[in-house]
Amino acid sequence: MSDLFSDVTEKPVWSEHLGPGSVLLHAFALQAVDAVYSDVQQVIQQSKLRQMVTAGGYQMSVSTTNCGELGWVSDLKGYRYERLDPLTGLPWQPMPESLERLAKQAAEAAGYPGFEPDACLINRYDVGCKMSLHQDRNEKDYRWPVVSLSLGLPAIFMFGGDERSDKYSNILLEHGDIMVWGGPDRMRFHGVKQVKPGEHPVCGQTRINLTWRKAG
Ligand SMILES: O=C(O)CCC(=O)C(=O)O
Ligand SMILES: [Fe+2]
């Protein structure tokens, strides 16, 4: 086919098991990307992306916002979930249906049926942004997984063990991939290496990451 984009939307969907509770769903989101991406743009217009500060006083390189009942925030008081956007004092935007549906489908495909996310964190990585190794531990109930969608520029995801010093694997995350980790893998350290320069047909010079969680 001569259609420029046919190879983008027709990449095979396949599951790669990366641990007893973690699955990389390659290309899982490609069919839903148009709706998801435009809904993310709507959310970002209402709830601005901002660079949060850690308890230690460091400004994160990624820019962040949220949708859903609960939003992840960080400031000098530390990491936590909040019902109100601290920038506006208003509730976060409701989670768009396209996002909620995709998260549930991905969780189910990864072996976590019944996932009801109440938080969707939106991270924008411009070229050069990264996320250091960390655990996701601000959620109330660790029985539910983290479901994480990558859009735009590719990134190397560091997937480590339960200790910060454990060796990690380097996993390539591409546009439309969904990484799910839960169960025995829920507390594994993870992070993202510096995003390399590039131009993506949908997202331009950025990587967008959405992570869904049952936080409350
Ligand atoms: O950007 C990613 O792929 C991971 C993001 C992440 O680990 C987080 O937001 O907690
Ligand atoms: Fe994380």
Q: What pLDDT, in 10s, does the model give residues 137-170? A: 999 999 999 999 999 999 999 999 999 999 999 9
**pLDDT value of position 10:** 79
Q: Using the atom order of ligand 1, give the atom closest to the CA of residue 209.
A: 1
* Cα 21 to Cα 185: distance, rounded to the nearest angstrom: 5
Looking at the CA of 158, name the nearest ligand: 1
Q: 169-197 pLDDT, tens per residue?
A: 999 999 999 999 999 999 999 999 999 99
Residues 187/162, Cβ–Cβ less than 8 Å: yes
pLDDT at 7 over 80: no
Q: Is the pLDDT of residue 125 over 70?
A: yes
Report the atom number in ligand 1 closest to the C-alpha of 173: 3
Q: Is the CB of 63 under 6 A from ligand 1?
A: no
Pocket of ligand 1 contains residue 209 by CB under 6 Å: yes
For residue 9, the model assigns a pLDDT of: 62
- List the shell of residues around ion ligand 2, using CB closer than 5 Å: 136
pLDDT at residue 5, as a whole number: 54
CATH class of 6-213: mainly beta
149 burial level (CB within 10 Å; 0-12, 13-18, 19+): buried
What's the 133 CA to ligand 2 centre distance in angstroms?
8
Three-class DSSP category at 172: strand
Q: Tell whether 39 is in a known binding site.
A: no
- Judge whether residue 3 has pLDDT over 90: no
| Domain coordinates in residue numbering, the chain | 6-213
Q: How confident is the model at residue 8 (pLDDT cuts 50, 70, 90)?
A: low
How far apart CA 16 and CA 179 sit, in angstroms, is: 9
Instruction: Judge if the beta carbon of residue 157 lies within 6 A of ligand 1.
Output: yes
Mean pLDDT of 75-101: 97
Task: Say if residue 200 carries a ligand binding annotation.
Answer: no
Mean pLDDT score of the chain, rounded to an integer? Answer: 95
3-class secondary structure, 43: helix
Q: Which residue has the higher pLDDT, 138 or 3?
A: 138
* Å from CA of 211 to ligand 2 middle: 8
In angstroms, the CA 144 to CA 115 distance is 7
At 38-57, the pLDDT tens digits run: 999 999 999 999 999 999 99
Q: What's the mean pLDDT in 107-136?
A: 98
Ligand 1 pocket member 66 (CB < 6 A): no
Question: Would you give the distance in Å from CA 11 to the centre of its chain?
Answer: 21
Q: Provide the percentage of residues in the chain whose pLDDT is more than 70.
A: 96
Residue 100: which pLDDT band, with cuts at 50, 70 and 90?
very high
The protein residue whose alpha carbon is closest to atom 1 in ligand 1 is 209
CA of 88 from ligand 1 middle (Å) equals 24
- Say how many Å lie between the CA of residue 39 and the centre of ligand 2: 22
